[in-house]
Structure formats: structure tokens, C-alpha cells
Amino acid sequence: MLKREFWQYFDYVLFGSVVILCIFGIVMIRSAVAGNAELQGAANSQVIFVVTGLIITLVVAAIDYHYWFSLWRWMYIFVILLLIFIYLVGDVAFGSRRWINVGPVNIQPSELAKIVMVIVLARYYANAADKPKDLRWLAKSLALTVVMVIPIVMQPNLSMTIVMFVLWLSMTWISGVPPKYLALMVGIGVVGVALFLLLISLGVKIPVIEEYQIRRVVNFLFPDPNARHGDTYNVEQALITIGSGGLFGQGYGHSTQVQLRYLKVRHTDFIFSAMASEFGFVGTALVMLLLLFVILRCIRVARRASDMFGALIAYGFATLLFFQTAVNIGVNLKVIPVTGLTLPFISYGGSSLLSLVLGLGLVESVAARHKSLNF
């Protein structure tokens, strides 16, 4: 494709929306870590992550996404080996071995695994589009997912495991799975969750599930009304922080909960609460609407894609954005148990942002190789 045609069909609205979210994220991180000597460099690091990430987006967008169709096997093997490599050199933090330390940067391979999984499943379903959608078709896609998930489970990383299966379920559904198999998948999922909840309520030790993960679920299902510290502290402070914002917020850099550091991990998992405290319901709603717009824009790209492979890439990335956003907000509002999923493009983190800009670049590549979008 000629360079002029590429820039003609590039989705500037989608890219611009993400840039706004990233800049807002830097602004929020700077406020969240203000006065904290240990985190004083977080905002500057995020600036580097964002600039580097946006360059990566443009580079990936410039590459024809069909190129990845033939390289899926090598990417798949590389990520699995990288996940296994964690057990040899990975750093343990918060009870899990998820990070590889490379100088001043911590790399989380499972973040890259999300995007590779989207490509692998998109390639599989596009390649098998004309084949019978039977149990064998379904089992092969599940096997591809499970092999990737096993080293993630062993870290342990329960939240990323759930993300992988959500991607598999959603992309299988989009690919036209027969209703009877869809019902079977949902039924197995419901039974699995029910069995998991039953076992932890009975105090049964579950392999590869750490004690702190079980406590998170137990504290969510059976909260102690008198508890004000310990495992429930963060979520209780998050609710107080959100409530303190009211309609229009306390103002940027003036949240008492944030500046007095009652709210923990306020620049990552609980940045939504910090945002609600400083900008209130109105400001938070505007940011959430912009995130929703980005998700819908990705779906629009998917619907206008020139082939099934491109459509599934865009649909898969939209699913990832929606699920990660919904879970992060749900944790902050205490409607689901605590997880480690960040708020897309806003929370601090190089690995998380890298996975998102890679996905964005793929979606832009799909958009740029079709006809222009109507605004």
C-alpha cells in the first residue's frame, strides 16, 4: 500500500482519543504520587512509556496485519517460552512471580500474551472459517488457549487467566459457534465458578491458588462489617475516596484521601478512585465515555475490515479493553473481588501500556487497509 493511502485511511479519531487518555493518565499519576519519594519518578516514567508506546503504535500500524498471520506460531512459542523463563529469573512481588527485571524496567510477559492470544485465535478462526464448527473445531481453539494459560496459572496470575478465557469465549462466539456449544461453554463456566466458590467457602485448599487470592474472594463474599484494616482496607478506602469526590470533585491535587495516602496503589489498580475523588462524577463519567468511544471505534473498525482475520483482531482488542475497564471499575466500586487489572491507558505501568499500544497498532493496521471511516 502506498504511504499516501495508508495515512488517508488511518483512523485519526481512534488514535487521538487514546492519546488524550494517555495524557490524562500521566496527569492523574502525577497527582496520585505527589509527595511520595519512592514513587516520585512514576509520572516521568509514564511519559517515556507513552511516547515510546505511541511510536510503537505507528510502527505496528504501518505493517500489514496479514504479516502476522504467517508468524503466529513463532509468536505463540516465543511468549510461552518467555512465560516459562519467569520461573528461572523472575522477580516475586505481591505473592506472585510475574515480572522479569531488565535494568530499571520490570517486564510482565503475561501482558504481551494477551495480544498474542488475540492474534493466534483470530488466525485460527479465520483459517477455519469454512470448516465444520463442531466439537473438534472448538477443542482445538480451547487447546491453544489452555497451553498459553498453564504457565500463567502457575505464576499464579488468576486475573490474567480469566482474561485469556474471556478472550477465547468472546472470539469463539463472534466466530459463529453453534448455540448448543455456546450453551455448553457457558454451562461449564458456571459450574466451574460455583465449584470454586463452594470449595473456598469450605476452606478447601485449591492447587495453584494462593492464600491471598482466596482471602480476596472470601472477604468479598463474606465481608466483616467491623473490619477496617487488613485485607479489606484498600477497597474500603477506595469507596471512601470515590464518595469524597461528589459531583464535581475536590479538585486536581486536592483529594484528601489521595494526598494523605489513605488510598493505596492509587496510581495503578485504584487510579479510578483517585480520579473520582479529584474530578467527581462528572469528570469521571467523561473519561469513561471516552474509553467507551475507543471500544466502539474498535468495533467499527472490525465491522469494516476487509477480511475475517482483521475483523477478529479488532473485535478481540475491543473485548480486551471492555473487560479490563469493567473489571477495574468493578473492583474500585466493590462489586467484584480485587484483581490486578489496570485501567486501560490511564493506570501506571509499562508492560500494561505496551500490550495496549500493540493492540491499538494492530487495529489501526486493519483500519488503514480498508476504506476510510465516515465521521
Least confident segment among 62-66, 265-269, 271-275: 265-269
Least confident segment among 7-11, 16-20, 140-144: 7-11
Check whether 229 has a pLDDT greater than 70. no
Least confident segment among 103-117, 140-154, 241-255, 313-327: 103-117
Place of cell 510477559: 109
Looking only at Cα atoms, what is the longest distance across the chain? Answer: 65
pLDDT top residue among 28 and 89? 28
Which one-letter DSSP state was computed for residue 249? -
Q: Residue 375: what pLDDT?
A: 40
Smallest CA-to-CA distance from 340 within 82, 84, 90, 155 is with: 155
Q: Mind giving me the DSSP string for 122-161?
A: HHHHHHTTTS--SHHHHHHHHHHHHHHHHHHHTTT-HHHH
Q: Residue 1: what pLDDT?
A: 46
Residues 243-259: pLDDT tens digits? 888 899 898 888 888 88
Q: Residue 95: what pLDDT?
A: 52
> What percentage of the chain reaches a pLDDT higher than 70?
87
Confidence of residue 102 (pLDDT cuts 50, 70, 90): low
Mean pLDDT over 215-235 rounds to 68
Average pLDDT, the chain: 85
Mean pLDDT over 45-73 rounds to 92
Confidence of residue 159 (pLDDT cuts 50, 70, 90): confident
Q: Residue 373: what pLDDT?
A: 44
pLDDT top residue among 314 and 42? 314
Q: Residue 372: what pLDDT?
A: 45
8 A C-beta contact, residue 10 and residue 372: no
Confidence of residue 202 (pLDDT cuts 50, 70, 90): confident
The answer to whether the Cα torsion of 134, 298, 326, 328 is positive or negative is positive
pLDDT top residue among 95 and 178? 178
Report which residue type is found at 104: P
Mean pLDDT over 126-149 rounds to 90
Check whether 371 has a pLDDT greater than 70. no
Cα–Cα distance between 231 and 217 in angstroms, integer?
10
Mean pLDDT over 314-340 rounds to 91
Element spanning 165, H or E:
helix 158-174
Cα–Cα distance between 102 and 18 in angstroms, integer?
27
Confidence of residue 145 (pLDDT cuts 50, 70, 90): very high
**β-bridge partners, 102:** 105
Cα–Cα distance between 237 and 235 in angstroms, integer?
5
Task: Confirm whether pTM is higher than 0.85.
Answer: yes
Check whether 353 has a pLDDT greater than 60. yes
Cα–Cα distance between 166 and 114 in angstroms, integer?
11
Q: Residue 374: what pLDDT?
A: 47
- Extract long-range pairs of 189-192: CB within 8 Å, 24+ residues apart: 189/165
**β-bridge partners, 101:** 106
Least confident segment among 137-151, 176-190, 218-232, 282-296: 218-232
Query: Hey, what's the cell of 101?
Result: 527485571
Distance, CA of 351 to chain centre: 11
Q: What distances in angstroms separate CA 335 from CA 70, 122, 231, 320, one per listed residue?
A: 42, 31, 16, 19
Confidence of residue 329 (pLDDT cuts 50, 70, 90): very high
Residues 334-350: pLDDT tens digits? 888 888 789 999 999 88
Q: What angle do CA 186, 190, 196 make, to 5 degrees?
A: 145
Residues 287-304: pLDDT tens digits? 999 999 999 999 999 999
Torsion from C-alpha of 362, 367, 370, 372, nearest 10 degrees: -160
pLDDT top residue among 215 and 160? 160
